[in-house]
A and B are shown apart, each in its own frame.
Chain A
Amino acid sequence: MTEHSSPLPTSQRESATFDRHTIAEIHRAADTGIYDIRGFGAKRAVPNFDDLLCLGASMSRYPLEGYRERCATDVWLGTRNAKKPLHIKIPVTIAGMSFGALSAQAKESLGRGASQMGTLTTTGDGGMTDEERGQTDLLVYQLLPSRYGMNPDHLRAADALEIVLGQGAKPGGGGMLMGQKISDRVAQMRTLPQGIDQRSPCRHPDWTGPDDLAIKIEELREITDWQKPIFVKIGATRTYYDVKLAVKAGADAIVLDGMQGGTAATQEVFIEHIGIPLLAAIPQAVQALQEMGVHRQVQLVVSGGIRNGADVAKALALGADCTSIGVGALIALGCNHPHWDEDYRRLGSAAGFFDDYQDGTDPAGITTQDPQLTSRLDPVRGGRRLANYLRVLTMEAQTIARACGKSHVQNLEPEDLVALSVEAAAMARVPLAGTEWVPGTKAHE
Chain B
Amino acid sequence: MMRTVSLETHSVRQVNQWLHEQNAKLEEENWQITEPQGRHALACGLDQALKLTIDGHAGYYCAGMNKQAEVVIEGSAGVGVAENMMSGTVRVRGNASQCAGATAHGGLLVIEGDAGARCGIAMKGVDIVVGGNVGPMSGFMAQAGRLVVCGNADEALGDSLYEARLYVRGTVESLGADCEEKNMTPEDQTELAELLHAAGYRNTFRTEEFRVYGSARRLYNFQIDQAGPDR
Chain A residues with a Cβ under 8 A of chain B: 32-35, 37, 146-147, 150-153, 155-156, 178-179, 190-193, 195-197, 199, 201, 205-207, 212, 215-216, 218-219, 222-226
Contact = CB atoms under 8 A, between A and B. Distances in A.
A225 B86 contact: no
A223 B80 contact: no
Contacts of B124: 147, 191
Interface residues of B, number: 41
Those 7 A-B pairs whose CB atoms lie nearest each other, nearest first:
A223-B45, A206-B80, A152-B65, A147-B103, A206-B102, A196-B220, A206-B99
B144 interface: yes
B105 to A, nearest CB: 7
A154 to B, nearest CB: 10
Contacts of B92: none
Contacts of B134: none
Contacts of A191: 105, 124-125, 143-144
Contacts of B67: 152
30 contacts: A34-B227, A150-B84, A150-B105, A155-B45, A178-B222, A191-B105, A191-B144, A192-B143, A196-B162, A196-B221, A197-B220, A197-B221, A201-B122, A201-B141, A205-B102, A205-B118, A205-B121, A206-B80, A206-B102, A206-B121, A215-B59, A215-B60, A215-B79, A216-B61, A219-B44, A219-B60, A222-B12, A222-B44, A223-B44, A223-B65
A225 B47 CA distance: 13
B97 to A, nearest CB: 10
Nearest to A221: B41
B20 interface: yes
Contacts of B16: 222, 225
B80 A225 contact: no
Contacts of A150: 84, 103, 105
Contacts of A212: 60, 79
Interface string B97-131: 00100110100000000000010011011000000
Nearest to B228: A33
Q: Which of A37, A151, A152, A197 has the most chain B CB atoms closer than 10 A to its own CB? A: A152
A159 B79 CA distance: 27
A35 B17 CA distance: 51
B182 interface: no
Nearest to B61: A219
A198 to B, nearest CB: 9
B13 A222 contact: yes
Nearest to A35: B227
Contacts, number: 105
B221 A179 contact: yes
Contact of A147 (B45, B84, B118): B84
B199 to A, nearest CB: 22
A156 B67 CA distance: 13
The interface residues of chain B, by DSSP majority, are classed as loop
Given A152-B67, A206-B102, A219-B61, A224 B80 contact: no
B229 to A, nearest CB: 11
A363 to B, nearest CB: 24
Interface string B164-177: 00000000000000
A215 B103 contact: no
A303 B45 CA distance: 32
Nearest to A146: B122
A197 B45 CA distance: 32
Nearest to A197: B222
A120 B208 CA distance: 55
Contact of A215 (B61, B102, B141, B224): B61
Contacts of A192: 143, 162
A206 B83 contact: yes
B51 interface: no
A24 B227 CA distance: 21
A8 to B, nearest CB: 35
A146 B105 CA distance: 13
Contact of B224 (A32, A178, A196, A199): A32
B125 A206 contact: no
Contacts of A199: 222
Contacts of A223: 41, 44-45, 64-65
A207 B99 CA distance: 8
Q: Which of B20, B61, B64, B140 has the most chain A CB atoms closer than 10 A to its own CB? A: B61
A206 B65 CA distance: 13
A152 B227 CA distance: 35
Contacts of B140: 205
Given A191-B124, A212-B79, A223-B65, A33 B86 contact: no
B21 to A, nearest CB: 10
Contacts of B29: none
Interface in B47-62: 47, 59-61
B224 A33 contact: yes
Nearest to A150: B84
A153 B47 CA distance: 9
Nearest to B223: A34
A205 B125 CA distance: 16
Interface string B78-99: 0110011010000000000001
B221 A206 contact: no
Nearest to B78: A215
A226 B13 CA distance: 9
Interface string B198-231: 0000000000000000000000111010010000
B154 interface: no
A267 B32 CA distance: 51
A33 B143 CA distance: 29
A207 B80 contact: yes
A34 B162 CA distance: 24
